Amino acid sequence: MSLTLSDLSSYINMAIEEDHLIGILFTSEASGYLKSDGWSYGAGKSTLAMNYAKYIIYKGDFEEVKKHLIGFAWQLRPFLENPTPTKCVLWEDLQIDVGKNKAHDPDVQALAYHLTIERPHLKVLIGTTSHRGMLQKDFRELLFNFEVIVPERGSYEIQMLKRRIQFDNPSKISERFNINPQGLGNFFKLLPEEQMWYDQWRDWRDAEARKRVKLLRAPPEEGIKKNITSAEFYSMAHELGLKGDQHKYHELWRKCAALQQQ
């Protein structure tokens, strides 16, 4: 374990051992202390996040990482309902469920505020997204205390997110990076068997996410519509036990057909 992580590690240990909740966001696109290559995806932030959870929180047990890796908001619920505290949940690609497009979604806002009271059940929330600006405002501002930026594959920096209330304008809260980075370092690839498992999990997650995108849904197959005849309409009415002269059913059928054509 890199000694450069010691400051953040102390926050994590305190959150796990005491009554705290800490949020750590892994990003890659925006620059912090170091200049970023600007890659939204494929820079290795998921690799770093999983290794971070594995080595620092779950003490080298990747099976625990697998149990606590989620891709959708609904997967949080079992951990929040578990009476036994959960050390860490790793939420991949937060923008799928709590992206900026959900800015005015009351359900997303309610979840963000609810997570702030889940300290007895959840100690560390790790999330990944390309940059913080992709997230809904409450998730972006409420839940994350640290941002781990991957400026290029294999390296990272850790920044503490600072919030300051202006004395002469207490309703305004400004947010900035801590000027001095909390850590700089390098990281390595997942083990081959871990990478294979993750690739399969991501394929499942991506397939589920595609189902939510309306523009990717194929149009419904429209078969040839068969117009029912007056005689068939009269026959069906009698099968249902309705009685009456056939010419009256014909008039009703004619009116129904005219309405369908409008």
What does the pLDDT look like over 195-216, one tens digit per residue?
999 999 999 999 999 988 988 8
User: Count of CB atoms within 10 A of residue 204's CB?
Assistant: 10
- Rounded to whole angstroms, the Cα distance separating 46 from 26 reads 8
- Rounded to whole angstroms, the Cα distance separating 227 from 78 reads 51
Percent of the chain with pLDDT over 90: 42
Task: Give the model's confidence band at 32: pLDDT under 50 very low, under 70 low, under 90 confident, else very high.
Answer: confident
Out of 128-137, 173-182, 224-233, pick the least confident. Answer: 173-182
What's the rounded mean pLDDT across residues 251-259? 75
pLDDT at 17 over 60: yes
Residue linked to tokens 């309610």: 110
Determine the pLDDT at residue 252.
79
For residue range 211-249, what is the model confidence (pLDDT) as tens digits? 889 888 888 765 545 677 777 777 777 777 777 776 777
Determine the pLDDT at residue 76.
95
> Helices 246-261 and 230-239 sit at what angle, rounded to 10 degrees?
120
Specify the CATH superfamily of domain 3-216: P-loop containing nucleotide triphosphate hydrolases (3.40.50.300)
* Token pair recorded at residue 13: 């240990």
Per 3-state DSSP, the chain is made up of helix, strand and coil in percentages (nearest 5) of 45, 20, 35
- CA torsion 70→153→24→47, rounded to 10°? 30
Higher pLDDT, 246 or 90: 90
The DSSP symbol for 36 reads P
**Are 124 and 57 a contacting pair, CB within 8 Å?**
yes
The pTM (predicted TM-score) of the whole model is: 0.75
- Rounded to whole angstroms, the Cα distance separating 39 from 29 reads 5
Which range, 34-48, 71-85, 226-240, has the best average confidence (pLDDT)?
Answer: 71-85
Domain ranges of the chain: 3-216, 230-261
The DSSP symbol for 259 reads H
